[in-house]
Amino acid sequence: MIVVAGRPELAQARDALLGSVAVVMTMGALHDGHAELIRTAVRSADSVLVTIFVNPLQFGAGEDLDRYPRTLEADLAVCEREGATVVFTPAPEVIYPGGPPVVRVTAGPLGEVLEGASRPGHFDGVLTVVLKLLQLTRPHVALFGHKDAQQLAGIRRMVRDLDLQVDVVGVPTVREPDGLALSSRNRFLSPEQRASALVLSRALQSRDVGAGRALVAAEPGVELDYLARVDSTTFTNHPDGDLLVVAARVGTTRLIDNLALADTATTPDRKR
């Protein structure tokens, strides 16, 4: 496995890759959900390029950019164990050499609802860095997790609207045996808060917006942001939507989750 941090080194490593190339973009603090992305990538392409970059552009004022876990040594061990070919670990000045970019991708209406409404500018920052990393890594396939369903929908729309030559593949959410969706932010939860966080998956499993909201409201220490039934491509509210989405703050930790309501919406989640 080759680890590179600069643009010239990445270009050299990428040019040396033969056959099809898959990219897995992460912000580090890798868990088994990320490992599943890499494993799926290994099955999907001849070479796998993993990026580890905490993107400041997608964090708003007062969000947890400085607090976000950085565990590079452990992350590299996961990448090597799962079969990554190249790992790109740039500093912010490598991705944004002139400082914050003046020209950015806009997520449009998709970036203004639900997660986008709660975190203004978040999806613009996500799509901007994804586009830059696609340009730098030049993959044939890019893999993203279903847990970040609105992000995945935005990336797919960007690829379609901007005629990007990459196949975007969604990978099922990986859950703990008790149903908690894996997240790098789970490490911030105390044992009591982790137990409370299970209400998110229970609310989704109710498959009813009203019942789910009632479950979350009754759970001490959990503050609901939204729980809605939406169309999985536009993320607009729809009574017959094919996706339930939820976001809540457990203590000071913000968590998201979702559940497909139609067999054609996503592949079923996987338990560890």
Q: Is the dihedral of CA 94, 98, 99, 105 positive or negative?
A: negative
| Strand residues in 174-241 grouped as ranges (E) | 174-175, 222-230
Amino acid at 21: V
| Catalytic residue from among 34, 122, 140, 238 | 34
Show the tokens assigned to 112: 């203004």
Respond yes or no: is residue 34 known to be catalytic. yes
How far is 75 from 165, CA to CA, in rounded Å? 28
Q: Which residues contact 76 (CB under 8 A, 6 or more apart)?
A: 1, 3, 87, 89
Q: Which residues contact 49 (CB under 8 A, 6 or more apart)?
A: 14, 17, 21, 22, 23, 24, 84, 85, 86, 87, 88, 137, 139
Using DSSP's 3-state secondary structure scheme, residue 220 falls into coil
Catalytic residues: 34
